[in-house]
Structure 1
């Protein structure tokens, strides 16, 4: 900050020509820059959504429906739900053009407490633990070729996952453009394996491998609980449809590129997911698919033969690309929460040299590292993932509320009111159905953790007790000197 003051004093002594030269050389302010275009937006949606889900979830969706026909219907329904949810978020994102996803929308509609609880649950648990799971999935696929016939040692998987988190965090902290290029590359790479699987399936169908689609509804188990769990697993594979709302401030022409990225990206994913599942069923019966340890690998072994090694390689590319997209967007949530005073202040600082929210990204990476340590966090993720739909429902409800409380707000995109109302109903169903179907204490623990954020909110955020500020001030100064970061609000002097 002293350097900035010195620059101002120097500018005061310069003549008009020198001042104009300085202004032309330093057009950028200490803020997030609009560097993400339409192609990068589509790549971010596709690259973040298509991760490990499509290679893991088919077994769970099939197990909860019992037959091929209902399984494919569930995948289509999950795509429709994701599209409608994304359209609701598109209205919110063009109405409130702030980064941070659900956070600024909850703040605008319901005030600071729901917004804080969202940031608390997301920053501490939901986002970093999901980041860790994706990187662990990458590590499993990447290490599998080196341990044929057996499971890779847990220490190898954890070290490789930690290395992936470190690399992705470094890339995102260094440059927005570099992170976008990485995202575009891995999106292209994962589309290669998607195309290979889809084309192989189409060829097999053309050759007459359709016996697994005969009587495709035979043996189906249609129950309310089974459908909810199937939707849960399918929607996990689609999760990420709201990712562009986390970086609205960095989108070029967000009024155009945000909805256009959604309209192009998500239908593309729906088609891919349906065709991939159809391809799986061309070579595997429902029973064989359920017994497969890794569906995509089994498909590759049966269809690609000598080139079967391509499957784990490109699945690893797919997961690392999804992890990069998750880091890119979740770091912005941490940044916005810090900017609003709901997290440590230094998390809202911007790198002077790179114009990235590097403290927020590094913090996100460190917390993600911590979630690698437990032996198995998949169960924890399953129980906490239902919290995501609590906040999805609240956020879309905020859209409905603001239709009445903020009628004069500019809405470049305005979806029919029936869509957000239907999405709120879907969210309520998805939150309550697993609890009713199979009640467990873990769901209560999850709710208590979310509400436990109030213990942090009132003394540290609402009342801002002085002793807390004395503790955080030297930490903020240390981070500012170490990482060369400044508050975003100081961009104009």
Structure 2
């Protein structure tokens, strides 16, 4: 296998494609299945809406902070590249290691599994087909991303447009035809076990996750110093508005008590009850497409981290993982490896737990990246920036405090999981030093 020296990543993604990838990667299943969890923890409809707003504001602060970093380090690999540039090679490697070995594949696997479960629930298929559907979905989306990146970007645009159908339906029906008291209801009988406003906000943060992944495509975005900040900022703002309106529409459609009673089945209930059999199926198909679009964004972005690490010869089999197909200019072997790991996780049924375990370590690296904004400004005080975070230093401080809140919440709620997630990070240290030794 010989890599042609002049083969590089195809810098073909403009603002519409980048924006679609941000929105498409964030809006997956979270907004459709987290409604009950947020309301249950918040205890009232009004508190639930405020939790969605607070989660969105924290995510926006994080996105605006990273947007400034992205404008100065517009490299393939996103968070991995930022950590290496702002700190050192080891910290960059460890942030990439967690994302390519566990977090990325686990997120892809979880989406595939959730897609299969929803397909079974919506269309009453035999559960025996869940595993083939989950595996088939990630393989098909992976094949799309083997072709030139314009196809993955086009698929992102199409799925983002399609996923707006159920979103718009839930919002419009709730606003104009819903009769429940959207903001005046509280949940009876669960206050002894409710997690409170903080935990409710934490649940919304998971639904906002994925906003940073567009940064992994820094080497394939046109004018990345300008486009990446715009895509991250406008994308998060759009998702914030969508999430708050969906939450309000759901509450106005059936009320907080019914959402609590139905749990994750609340959205399917609204689809079938309010839109009829055919309309309900259209809404359900839109939700499935939404998950596929989210999956596409992750399959398009996570292998780019593996490719960037392999280019620096930081991984075993770096020559193969850094290979770009001369015709498609995509890292085909990195895509294959990420899909393979995700497929194994689906078969083992461990995707959800593994993705939860890595949330802690991902937010550790987020905090370091947010602090990095101050480091970059100190190192390069006279550097002209294409994008500067608004309300500096207040915005980065909000992002840091919000992420610390997530970390503390994880330590208190799942100390064993935190230990395991740190152990996964530690496993990367001997790999890093072995690769450093091989390069000498």
Cα distance in 1 between the residues matched to 2:117 and 2:194: 34
Cα distance in 2 between the residues matched to 1:202 and 1:140: 29
Of residues 298-307 and 181-190 in structure 1, the stretch that sits farther from structure 2 once superposed is: 298-307
Deviations along 1:296-315, one digit per CA (max 9) or x if unpaired, are 10111221123211222111
Counterpart in 2 of 1:389? 363
1:283/1:302 contact within 8 Å kept: no
Question: In terms of Rg, which structure is larger?
Answer: 1
Cα distance in 1 between the residues matched to 2:284 and 2:3: 50
Cα distance in 2 between the residues matched to 1:3 and 1:375: 36
Residue of 238, 249, 266 corresponding to 1:295: 266
> In the alignment, does 2:64 pair up with 1:93?
no
Query: 1:425: Cα distance to partner?
Result: 2.0
Residue of 200, 210, 221 corresponding to 1:230: 200
Counterpart in 2 of 1:434? 410
CA change 1:221–1:408 in 2 (3 A) is: farther
Deviations along 1:10-67, one digit per CA (max 9) or x if unpaired, are xxxxxxxxxxxxxxxxxxx410111111111111111111111101111211121111
CA change 1:302–1:329 in 2 (3 A) is: same
Cα distance in 1 between the residues matched to 2:86 and 2:286: 42
2:166/2:284 contact within 8 Å kept: no
CA change 1:126–1:231 in 2 (3 A) is: same
Aligned 1:197-346 pairs, distance under 5 A: 197-205=170-178, 209-214=179-184, 226-292=196-262, 293-306=264-277, 307-344=279-316, 345=318, 346=320
2:45/2:184 contact within 8 Å kept: no
Query: 1:382: Cα distance to partner?
Result: 2.1
Cα distance in 2 between the residues matched to 1:281 and 1:273: 12
**Structure 2, unaligned stretches of length 5 or more?**
none
Query: 1:402: Cα distance to partner?
Result: 2.1
TM-score (norm 1): 0.83
1:70/1:217 contact within 8 Å kept: no
Of residues 425-434 and 100-109 in structure 1, the stretch that sits farther from structure 2 once superposed is: 425-434
Cα distance in 2 between the residues matched to 1:216 and 1:258: 41
TM-score (norm 2): 0.92
- State how many pairs are aligned: 434
Cα distance in 2 between the residues matched to 1:423 and 1:146: 41
CA change 1:147–1:351 in 2 (3 A) is: same
Counterpart in 2 of 1:351? 325
CA change 1:465–1:250 in 2 (3 A) is: closer
